[in-house]
Homo-oligomer: A and B are copies of this chain.
Amino acid sequence: MKRQLPILLLLALTAAAPPKTLTPTEVINAAPAAAWRTIPADDLLVMTLDGGGRVVIQLAPAFAPVHVANIRKFAAADYWQGAAVYRVQDNYVAQWGINEAKRALSAGAVAHPPHEYTRPARGLVLTPLGSPDPYAKNVGFSRGWPVALYKDGSASLTHCYGTVGVGRDLHPDTGTGGELYAIIGHGPRQLDRNIAIVGRVVSGIEQLSALPRGSETMGFYKEGSVAKPIVAVALASAMPAAQRPSFQYLDTASPSFARYLHVRKNRNDDFYRVAAGGVDLCNVPVPVRPTPGK
């Protein structure tokens, strides 16, 4: 909400009054190389839209292995040929893919995957958020992901801005992964445990969030019309090295992430008057950056 300060005033402020505490961005920029984890190229799905816009998605095989395996097979088999972003609902989702009823399943893909809406909490080491959450027994971060833990011993990824999940029809259908959505509004956490989350957008979310909203119910585009054709979908691992993107996330078990979480709860830099002292899970996006030198 800062206005554009004249350059001279900005310089004067910088010289006269160093920030009281670091901003989240300053904490991220100060994180040492050892605090960053490179995302495996096999976990990066690169979607190129008509016009050249590129959306890069980090897949989450530890949470939805069967759906992620399907998605990898779809990418390899060019399953999404002719696919498009066909739904953009304001403050909710952008959704894309191909009508599963009209396309033969790629070889080796699973037609009816198990739910994968949750997984056992066992095996996940949690960095707790440390603030109350209305949706789960406990929430925090594990292996670079926002995670919720439930009373029954299960865990799930959570619907925050940029989260990618699997479009499906009514329960108990789970979808194959041939139709996907990304969250482009306030985190709709009521979807947690009700849908398979397969990843998150790590780059290019604005290629989806800035699309015109669909005119029909739930943001669908009119029959015969789409928000944006998809021209290619590939795993980074299948791309020529020169075009292959690479990203890193901040290790959520690192001291740098602990500092980042602390300042997200306690904004006390020059702009702020009162620090909240708490924060909600989706208001702590896990920092991601392009791998330096790549």
Interface positions of A (Cβ within 8 A of B): 1-6, 9, 13, 86-88, 90-91, 93, 95, 99-101, 115, 117, 131-135, 160-162, 165-172, 175, 179, 181, 185-195, 205-206, 209-213, 218, 220, 264-265, 267, 270-280, 282-283, 285
Which one, B1, B167, B186, contacts A283 given CB within 8 A? B186
* Distance A100 CA – B195 CA, assembled complex (angstroms): 48
Residues of B within 8 A of A135 (CB): 276-280
CB–CB B264/A190 < 8 A: yes
Q: Which of A160, A193, A273 is most buried by chain B, counting CB atoms within 10 A of its CB?
A: A273
Residues of B within 8 A of A186 (CB): 160-161, 185-187, 282-283
Interchain CB contact (< 8 A) of A134 among B13, B193, B280? B280
* Interface secondary structure of A, over-half rule: loop
Partner of A99, one of B4, B191, B272: B4
Q: A134, A220, A278 — which one has the most chain B CB atoms within 10 A of its CB? A: A134
Give the one of A88, A90, A162 with max B CB within 10 A.
Answer: A90
CB <8 Å contact, B213 and A206: yes
A267 to B166, CA, bound (A): 19
Given the complex of chains A and B, what is the CA–CA distance between A90 and B166 in angstroms? 23
Q: Out of B6, B170, B267, which one reaches A271, CB within 8 Å?
A: B170
**Interchain CB contact (< 8 A) of A205 among B91, B170, B188, B285:** B91
- A271–B3 contact, CB under 8 A? no
A115 neighbours in B (Cβ, 8 Å): 273
Contacts of A4 in B (CB 8 A): 86-87, 99, 220
The reply to whether B93 and A1 contact each other, CB–CB distance below 8 Å, is yes
Is the Cβ of A2 less than 8 Å from the Cβ of B213? Answer: no
- Expressed in whole angstroms, the Cα–Cα distance for A273 and B188 within the complex equals 15
A179 with B3: in contact, given A185-B161, A186-B186 (CB under 8 Å)? yes
Q: Is the CB of A169 within 8 A of B280?
A: no
Of chain B, the residue at the smallest CB distance from A267 is: B190
| Interface contact B218-A2, CB-CB below 8 Å | yes
A190 and B90 in contact, given A95-B1, A210-B211 (Cβ under 8 angstroms): no
Known: A6-B101, A101-B6. A272 touches B132 (CB 8 A): no
Residues of B within 8 Å of A5, CB to CB, are: 169
Whether A190 pairs with B279 at a CB distance below 8 angstroms is yes
CA distance A122 to B195 in the complex (A): 42
Given contacts A209-B209, A210-B212, 17 further A-B contacts (CB under 8 A): A1-B93, A1-B166, A1-B168, A90-B205, A90-B210, A91-B285, A115-B273, A131-B134, A132-B133, A134-B279, A170-B270, A170-B271, A185-B185, A194-B271, A210-B210, A210-B211, A280-B280
